[in-house]
Amino acid sequence: MAFDFPSVATEKRKAKEKNKNKKPITTKGSTVKEEKEDKKYAKTFKPVLGKKEGIKKEISITQLDDALSRTKNTNKISDKGLKKVVDAAADDAQLTRSLRKMERDLLRGGGRAGYKMGSKCKLAMKGKGRAYGKNS
């Protein structure tokens, strides 16, 4: 090995360290490790994201989002725990029940619109049953 001036040797050492710290980058711009993690998570979330387009898929995504937002430390969830949450959100029987409940809640709340607040009729203000249609 030939003699190098200290400044040249320092520059070579810095260049070598810089190349050593570089992570292998894929064509998508992310590192290989990040891409492997993305594939793993894509496989985990496949039951929810792989559903046929429709209301059930939207409900499952919403339920998954709610479940993950309720947990305090999402990055500390184990793979098994995450898999259980995803499977629960993608369960067809449970999605059917949720859909029925949503439809039932939307249809509920009948009665004459003017008397809902209890401001027009003394019976409605007192909370007496079917207030509309009464002479007050």
**The pLDDT value given to residue 67:** 85
**The pLDDT value given to residue 27:** 63
**The pLDDT value given to residue 82:** 86
pTM of the model: 0.51
**The pLDDT value given to residue 115:** 53
Q: What is the pLDDT of residues 12-55, one digit of tens each?
A: 888 877 766 666 666 666 677 778 888 888 888 888 888 888 88
pLDDT band at 6 (very low <50, low <70, confident <90, very high): confident
How many CB atoms sit inside 10 A of residue 41's CB? 13
**The pLDDT value given to residue 22:** 65
**The pLDDT value given to residue 132:** 55
For the chain, which residues make up each domain, given as ranges? Answer: 26-102
**φ, ψ dihedrals at 95, nearest 5°:** -65, -40
Are the beta carbons of 34 and 24 closer than 8 angstroms? no
**φ, ψ dihedrals at 118, nearest 5°:** 80, 25
Q: What is the pLDDT of residues 60-117, one digit of tens each?
A: 988 888 888 887 777 778 888 888 888 888 888 988 998 888 888 777 666 555 555 5
Residue located via tokens 């209301």: 55
**The pLDDT value given to residue 26:** 63
